[in-house]
């Protein structure tokens, strides 16, 4: 595999492939977002394609179908290393070989054990392969998926909405409307970006949340799975049990086991929506990868704080501060000096 300075024309085609990968009709989910552009010898684009989610054809196969006979001798630009496995669909490496493509330019390598390694297969078949062209850009559009595949657990986002004095409810745990409308809409958008939403039984009993995507936010693909963790029974008439989205009542199991089970079910990103005890249990095990901290301009005085007693203080790096109406939302990530989650 070569790592030369890419010609300008390659960047143009790879950018187009990245653009396809992020098409609005491509859902986020178990599978990555992938785009492919096939270009003939004279520089003409003869086929394009992108992936529409688990169970549908891969980007390369869509682009090859569009190119037909013109793929022979052509160059394929793919944002992810072509897979070499037979999963829900056949191996893209074989499809590229069969179509007679002579060169494959790749952005990022495939981090999964089952599909990764396709480059070597292409090379063994006499195809010229270059990788690393706009790799960071491709990783960025699949950041959570990439992380999840390496860690073998979903990427975990923790959301909390608190008052200026750090409270999440009133005296005695009485639920209060803390966040303003802009924060609520943003929070629904965050729900639309994940495949599962986790809450504790305490939150279900106190707030009776529905955990669906509303407030005019549209969603491509399936609604996120609603997950309840904790030992207390979930009332039969709890809104989380309605048929607006699937629900998994997980019972009193540890954060690691919840995440392992969700990963097996194909979940690559989750949102934790509280409460303090559940969130603390994930933080204590260093299982939170991003914090979304909503702060509303109200002082409550007494009542539960955003977190229960933690084992140790956690330092975070702030990535952004948004103003949402009268509220603020801080996005932060844990400072993992040596992230042991990564294989490399």
Contacts of 139 (CB under 8 A, 6+ apart): 108, 146
Nearest-angstrom CA–CA distance, 322 and 330: 6
Of 122 and 258, which has the nearer Cβ to Zn ion?
Answer: 122
**Binding of ligand AOF at residue 142 (CB under 6 A)?**
no
**Binding of ligand AOF at residue 54 (CB under 6 A)?**
yes
Q: Out of 26, 76, 83, 105, which residue is the one contacting Zn ion (CB under 5 A)?
A: 83
Return the one option of ligand AOF, Zn ion, none that residue 80 interacts with (CB less than 5 to 8 A, by type).
ligand AOF
**Binding of ligand AOF at residue 58 (CB under 6 A)?**
yes
Strands (E), the chain: 35-39, 45-50, 75-80, 103-108, 128-130, 155-163, 196-200, 225-229, 247-251, 269-272, 290-296, 316-324, 327-334
The residue number whose beta carbon is nearest to ligand AOF equals: 87
**Binding of Zn ion at residue 92 (CB under 5 A)?**
yes
CA-based nearest residue to 160, from 335, 307, 285: 307
Q: Which residues pair with 157 in a beta bridge?
A: 271, 290
Of 64 and 83, which has the nearer Cβ to ligand AOF?
Answer: 83
Nearest-angstrom CA–CA distance, 214 and 149: 29
60 is catalytic: yes
Rounded least distance, CB 82 to Zn ion, Å: 6
Catalytic residue, candidates 30, 60, 144, 273:
60
**Binding of Zn ion at residue 96 (CB under 5 A)?**
no
Q: Out of 15, 51, 58, 84, which residue is the one contacting Zn ion (CB under 5 A)?
A: 58
Phi, psi of 255 (to 5 degrees): -55, -45
Q: Which residues bind ligand AOF (CB under 6 A)?
A: 31-32, 34, 51, 54, 58-60, 80, 83, 87-89, 92, 110, 112, 115
Active-site positions? 60
């Amino acid at each position: 595999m070569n790592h030369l300075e890419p010609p300008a024309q390659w960047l143009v085609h790879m950018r187009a492939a990245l653009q396809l990968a992020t098409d609005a009709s491509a859902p986020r989910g178990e599978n990555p977002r992938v785009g492919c552009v096939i270009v003939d010898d004279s520089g003409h684009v003869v086929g394009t394609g992108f992936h529409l989610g688990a169970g549908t054809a891969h980007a390369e196969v869509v682009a090859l179908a569009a190119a037909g006979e013109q793929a022979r001798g052509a160059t394929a630009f793919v944002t992810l290393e072509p897979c070499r496995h037979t999963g829900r669909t056949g191996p893209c490496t074989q499809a590229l070989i069969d179509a007679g493509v002579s060169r494959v330019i790749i952005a990022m390598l495939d981090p999964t054990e089952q599909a990764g390694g396709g480059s070597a297969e292409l090379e063994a078949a006499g195809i010229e392969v270059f990788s690393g062209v706009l790799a960071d850009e491709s990783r960025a559009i699949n950041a959570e998926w990439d992380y999840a595949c390496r860690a073998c657990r979903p990427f975990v986002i923790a959301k909390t909405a608190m008052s200026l004095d750090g409270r999440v409810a009133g005296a005695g745990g009485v639920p209060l409307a803390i966040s303003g409308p802009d924060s609520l809409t943003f929070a629904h958008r965050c729900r639309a970006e994940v495949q599962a939403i986790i809450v504790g039984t305490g939150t279900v009993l106190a707030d009776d949340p529905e955990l669906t995507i509303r407030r005019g936010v549209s969603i491509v693909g399936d609604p996120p799975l609603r997950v309840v963790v904790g030992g207390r029974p979930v009332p039969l008439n709890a809104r989380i049990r309605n048929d607006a989205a699937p629900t998994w009542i997980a019972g009193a199991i540890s954060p690691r086991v919840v995440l392992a089970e969700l990963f097996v079910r194909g979940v690559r990103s989750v949102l934790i929506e509280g409460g303090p005890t559940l969130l603390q249990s994930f933080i204590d095990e260093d299982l939170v990868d991003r914090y979304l901290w909503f702060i509303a301009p109200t002082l409550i005085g007494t009542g539960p704080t955003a977190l229960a007693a933690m084992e140790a203080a956690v330092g975070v790096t702030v990535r952004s501060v948004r103003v949402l109406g009268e509220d603020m939302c801080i996005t932060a990530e844990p400072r993992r000096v040596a992230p042991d989650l990564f294989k490399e």
